[in-house]
Amino acid sequence: MLRGCRPIEIKTYNRINIRFYSYIWCVKPKDDEKKAAIHQETLNLVYEKGIAGIKMAELARKVGISPSTLYVYHKNKEELILDLFTEILQDHTVAFRKQLAGDLPFMLKLKKVWLEMLHMSINNVKEMNFIRQVKQSPYFDKVPARVKEDKIKMSQELLDMGKQQLLIKDLPNNILESVAEANIMQTLTMVLNKQLTLSEKDMDMMFSFLWDAIKR
């Protein structure tokens, strides 16, 4: 009998007493810690070598599992990238949604989201690098539409609120988002280069540059 298989005995066929077995492969349940290790090593590889540098055999070796075990979790490289991207983007969307909760003035909500994105970029450098690389790759076209739409919808709702209240310029949301992203990237670079600190004074100053650029 094959290891990991369970036999099902069937005794009769066309009135003839015949015995044969149908085998069902018993797949070991996926381990959450092992999955997390696979995803972390994927982020490490992409940070070091780029998406093109992901080799499933090398990834399995770094995680300390066999290639066959790795394929239990992700059947190929594409599925791995899309699953990891989806997981990260959904986590980020949940984190941003929390910043939008409550009855706060528009500018304060925008600042909370801005700070969340900045801190996320500082504390999760490899995740943010992975997101940027996927967005610039052919894999991005294969990301489920619902995953992209959740993030886009959240951003649009916030910017539309500001425009409806006549607080920010009535420009297309993608332009406003580009201005905000450029401001965040500049702030991130200056913090990493120790030209700025994460003090309230420095963060207020950098956010004020964004606000001055988009306000009416």
pLDDT digits 0-9 by tens, 22-55: 443 444 556 889 999 999 999 999 999 999 999 9
Can you read off the two tokens belonging to residue 66? 């066999």
Nearest to 84 by CA among 145, 41, 31: 41
| Distance spanning both ends of the chain, measured CA to CA | 75
Whole-angstrom Cα distance, residue 191 to residue 184?
A: 10
DSSP, res 75? S
pLDDT digits 0-9 by tens, 85-140: 999 998 888 888 887 877 889 999 999 999 989 998 899 999 999 999 999 999 99
| Count of positions (residues) in the chain | 216
Q: Which domains does the chain have, with CATH numbers?
A: 81-214 (1.10.357.10)
pLDDT-derived band of residue 155, with 50, 70 and 90 as boundaries? confident
List phi, psi (to 5°) of 197. Answer: -110, 175
